[in-house]
Chains A and B, each alone.
Chain A
């Protein structure tokens, strides 16, 4: 912590330089596609690149004004990933007949996502405000998760999962937004109750067993995850929710026993569901016996998709075929679930490593914000959201490379999908806001007019004391002003 505070500089100029680099990566990848395919760069390309650049700069400027101590790496990383995603989706559009326009749609959603991020940065002065919405977030999460099952607005079964709603012409995946609200709920609930969970209960040897009633949230989270699996057939989202919860309760309690209990519950749930639900069984069969002719040729729950993805990645090899020069279009859902395979083919092992490192850096910066945050709520929220991104990457990339069964999760910022993009931009903005709070120098001047202590929810004050001895003294410095 002291290192962070000693270097409490805004670093916005570094961010600007990196942001330009990130834009060069994304726009460059888009240009390479056209050049490699012998197409000229049309008006659409320039227009879209310009809009992308302007929108990214707008986020940067918003940070300069409202969160100038925010982590300087997060925005460039996200813009680079987002830009690469748009480029690859464009590239896949050119290979489909008739030519599709997922790329344009993705570019539009990117602008909307950036606008939402700006909104979060401008209006969320202090992330602790979100703590007020702990239980509202719980209700919101429940509503969002149930929406796809409500007759009238449900989009029904899309590719085996019931996770979409449709209102008029627009369709949306509410589960993506629920990632955020559920993160807020857990952060709020755990920061308030972690002492109880931590101290009450019997010891059994070295293991501190939780009290049964303190197990409540874990059981609720577990049931919710199983519910997603049963009613929506969405294995990926189910694992993601429960994983976020486990990481947050572990961080809140610092007890490995909780994490182990959670992982055991997850395995039990997974094993039971693979026994009970045929679609889960097929997924696992398609994973283990991917090269069995019968499994390969099976129309539903077969391994055609994953095997084609593997072929593509093998084709890319070490350095890839180059943008626009492979055949990533042979992989079903290359622009969404399988976009990692497309990158593996055209950018090769080198490119894919770079992407993984970008994600690892993003998660690391998010975790760094969590460490630096001066309140338990902020720590938990930043940690949970970052862990969510990391876990989501693991589930998707592990599935595509056949490390684990393939599940239908999107790759954050890369994959086509408006809901996912919006939700992830909001998450990025939240982490930026928390990192700003973490890196901000301790204010020794009198509070400004818009920085009245009233802006801080009353309940967060005691919670600050729970952050550990180091944090306690520092927050007291602020309060003594």
Chain B
């Protein structure tokens, strides 16, 4: 009997050992995963009332913590120019968690990052309130303001302005926007009411992963022809003097439907076209025939080299979705996908990255948003340097494409983007949304063409052709001018 009691004890001791194991798993091994779980708002609740660092643009704070005067929760997050920067800053709420930069640079803002260890210990010893670091962005406030104002209220659209040589984001604006103050308030009932109201707005950028310049996946339309062109030149089958077939419409293999050139343009004037003409006039059939010739894998490989379906690197600090080159296409689908229709999609930032790579001799820089991180005593603790993200194509090919893109603005359908005295390279796109007659209207380009300083990508969602033309290329011209004048 005593032996049986000892055995029973061993069984129970084994149970206790299992418990020690599972406690260790939860509290040590799996703790990081649990802490970063999207439903876990403990971290926010713990630091919610602290003096968080400011987010600075052009030397002025755009987000700061202000004293509430209340003992129970001493600081309130305040967003200055909330609508203008909501897509970047995100919000900081004790109910809904945090999004955007509030989430991604949280360690710096709360002072928890490794570089701030000494500051943290100093505060601890001196008995000071914990104070976070301030984060200065690469954004130019004037350009951000301009870009934001170029999207009419009530229009869904995004504008991404970057420096193609460094990857620094100069402006990134989208509408509809919202006021993060309404969600960051300590009045939980008010925050909940505001959230309920905001969630009803189509295309709103409350969560970086579902909207805005970094997230919304849209049909890229003709701007995708830059991928086809690159793939064609890279294949060796085509060169700058190649003559492409340009029928007014093209029978789609295995389908009764036909792929037409755009009826409004000048494509119909030639049944054969050079690359320059096909890009200038944005004819569809030459690029569809290139895609059918090269095959979907070649196009897909080039798309990936431009970043489709890839990561954007660690300097962006925003949730990012790049784009999709669809898989397992039949010939008819391939023809449509190659002109940025069917299931081909891209976020505005993805198109900006593609164009930036062409502007930068085929080298794509990591998009970056943080210029400096400063400790409470204004000492710079972090200053990210430009980093190469990937090589998208060769310098020769990018130079050739730049030349043709310059023609698009000087002679072709992107004339609206021209800036007096500056050579601008660009490409437009008009992606049809079903049979509604409405389109996603794109412009992407850079200037000056021979020494690119600025890249601009604009997309306006759900517009007719005339409105699209008005809201894209001319807006790009204004932004080029504003950036280059500085």
Chain A: residues with CB nearer than 8 A to chain B?
Answer: 1, 247, 250-254, 291, 296, 307, 310-318, 327, 330, 344, 348-349, 352-353, 356, 359-360, 363-364, 367, 370-371, 376, 379, 383, 386-387, 390-391, 393-394, 397-398, 401-403, 467-468, 470
Contacts and interface: CB of A to CB of B under 8 A. Distances in A.
Nearest to B12: A390
Contacts of B2: 1, 371, 379, 468, 470
A379 B1 contact: yes
Given A314-B27, A315-B46, 13 more contacts: A311-B35, A313-B31, A314-B32, A314-B34, A349-B23, A352-B27, A360-B12, A391-B12, A393-B15, A393-B16, A397-B23, A401-B26, A468-B2
A429 B30 CA distance: 40
A253 B1 CA distance: 7
Interface in B12-51: 12-13, 15-16, 18-20, 22-28, 30-32, 34-35, 37, 39-40, 42-43, 45-46
A387 B12 contact: yes
Contacts of A251: 1, 4-5, 8
A311 B4 contact: no
A398 B19 contact: yes
A390 B39 contact: no
Given A311-B34, A398-B18, A330 B1 contact: no
The listed residue with most A CB atoms (<10 A of its CB), out of B5, B9, B22, is B5
B3 interface: yes
Nearest to A386: B12
A327 B8 contact: no
A370 B368 CA distance: 69
Contact of A311 (B7, B9, B40): B40
Interface of B: 1-9, 11-13, 15-16, 18-20, 22-28, 30-32, 34-35, 37, 39-40, 42-43, 45-46
B23 A468 contact: no
Contacts of A349: 23-24, 27-28
Given A313-B23, A318-B28, A254 B18 contact: no
B1 A390 contact: no
The listed residue with most A CB atoms (<10 A of its CB), out of B2, B3, B45, is B2
Given A251-B8, A312-B42, A356 B27 contact: no
Q: Binding site of A, secondary structure by majority: helix, strand, loop or mixed? A: helix
A403 B27 contact: no
Contact of A363 (B6, B12, B27, B32): B12
Nearest to A191: B1
A312 B27 CA distance: 9
A327 B12 CA distance: 32
B16 A359 contact: yes
21 contacts: A251-B4, A254-B3, A307-B39, A313-B27, A315-B35, A317-B27, A318-B28, A327-B45, A352-B27, A356-B16, A356-B23, A360-B16, A363-B16, A367-B5, A371-B6, A379-B5, A390-B12, A391-B12, A394-B18, A403-B19, A468-B1
Q: Binding site of B, secondary structure by majority: helix, strand, loop or mixed? A: helix
Contacts of B31: 313-314, 317
A318 B22 CA distance: 13
Contact of A327 (B5, B20, B32, B46): B46
Nearest to B18: A403
A316 B3 CA distance: 40
B22 A401 contact: yes
A247 B8 contact: yes
Contacts of B26: 310, 313-314, 344, 401-402
B16 A390 contact: yes
B209 to A, nearest CB: 15
Contacts of A296: 39
A317 to B, nearest CB: 6
A231 to B, nearest CB: 28
A376 B4 contact: no
B461 to A, nearest CB: 28
A371 B5 contact: yes
B22 A403 contact: yes
Given A327-B46, A467-B1, A401 B9 contact: no
Contacts of B27: 313-314, 316-318, 344, 348-349, 352
Contact of A394 (B9, B16, B42): B16
Contact of B28 (A247, A317, A371, A386): A317
Given A310-B34, A317-B28, A349-B24, A391 B42 contact: no
Contacts of A367: 5-6, 8-9, 12
A462 to B, nearest CB: 15
B186 to A, nearest CB: 15
Contacts of B15: 390-391, 393-394, 398
Contacts of A390: 12, 15-16
B134 to A, nearest CB: 27
Given A391-B15, A397-B19, A401-B25, A364 B5 contact: no
A312 B338 CA distance: 51
Contacts of B11: 247
The listed residue with most B CB atoms (<10 A of its CB), out of A252, A315, A316, is A315
A398 B22 CA distance: 7
Contacts of A371: 2, 5-6
